[in-house]
Amino acid sequence: MTRHAAILGCLGPVLTAQETAFFRDVRPWGFVLFKRNVESPGQVRALTAALRATVDDEHAPILIDQEGGRVQRLGPPHWRRYPPGRAYGRLTTDDPLYRREIARLGARLLAHDLSALGITVDCVPVLDVPVPGAHDIIGDRAYGETVAEVATLGRAAAEGLIAGGVLPIIKHMPGHGRSMADSHEHLPVVEASRAELEAVDFEPFRILSDMPMAMSAHLVYTAVDPANPATTSRDVIGDVIRGSIGFDGLLMTDDLSMKALKGDFESRARSALAAGCDMVLHCNGRMDEMKAVVAGTKPLAGKAKRRADAALARVARSPEPFDVKAALARFDAAFEGRFAA
């Protein structure tokens, strides 16, 4: 049956009757979990199963933001703490390949945690390259301060997730590192030249353009489109994301409820899809907003459906062999126990 081009959230740790009926009716492509939705491993497994049952699809994607550091929806006492992206780039070593190994290992451990819960998509890696003076909304979430660091460790993280049966999402395309404001609260405007953007901001996404999914940035890039944020800009999506960067995977919006976007939720969803996004993401679980978002979406079809199907085809049905105990020992040794459970 047809699915809507939307990823939606729910309000609590169990589905309400209203949510169940709504999801059965609108059949979103996927779902997203936040801290409000998680209490214990058994509860999360029951919730992911219940969400999939509403769309009658055992492979319906379920997303979470589990980066480590400040952005970690699963945490103690049931799940271990993980370091932020920058911690991998700061590992003391003369061998940059060691940093890459540990970044992949950390993501492989994350995938092990997530797949056990029925979560199949992690909104990682962050491929933003922060510049001096930028807002700390990215900050230590970035793997480093250069294209080489961000792209190398970002690919390592993506590979670790894929090996564990979890899909990565590269974000925030085409680059959030120059933002001087938090797009959760305000619309950031980036005034760097196109040449600067191509050389720094866009380059990590170009290097990882083979990844299955990406998330758009709610930022205005005046050198490309001075009027619209990337999420609703035909110029940014067509000329930069699909053109210069060469990304042909599934492009989803960042959360439509963020204050960087203007207008009602129906128009936000409609504008994002009209600009070239394949999928809209709405996270807070508010029913009134979700109904408006769905009203602005359309059934998944054409190129968007092809990209969605291709993304899900990348999920490894059998994760690579993995010695969890040995992996945890090596990971904890790399960080001298600072992030041990």
Active site residue ranges: 184, 254
The SS3 call for residue 72 is strand
Q: Which residues contact 187 (CB under 8 A, 6 or more apart)?
A: 181, 218, 219, 220, 229, 259, 260, 261, 262
Residue type, 153: L
- CA pair distance 201, 23, nearest whole angstrom: 37
Angle between helix 96-115 and helix 324-334 axes, rounded to 10 deg: 130
Tokens 């049956």 — which residue? 1
As a dihedral over the C-alpha atoms of residue 19, residue 267, residue 127, residue 327, rounded to 10 degrees, the angle is 10
- CA pair distance 141, 126, nearest whole angstrom: 7
Could you give the angle at the alpha carbon of 284 between the alpha carbons of 241 and 257, nearest 5°? 45
Is the bond preceding residue 299 a cis peptide, omega within 30 degrees?
no
> Residue 195: which region, alpha, beta or left (left: phi > 0; alpha: psi -120 to 50)?
alpha
- CA pair distance 118, 110, nearest whole angstrom: 13
- CA pair distance 75, 67, nearest whole angstrom: 11
How far the first Cα of the chain sits from its last, in Å, is: 43
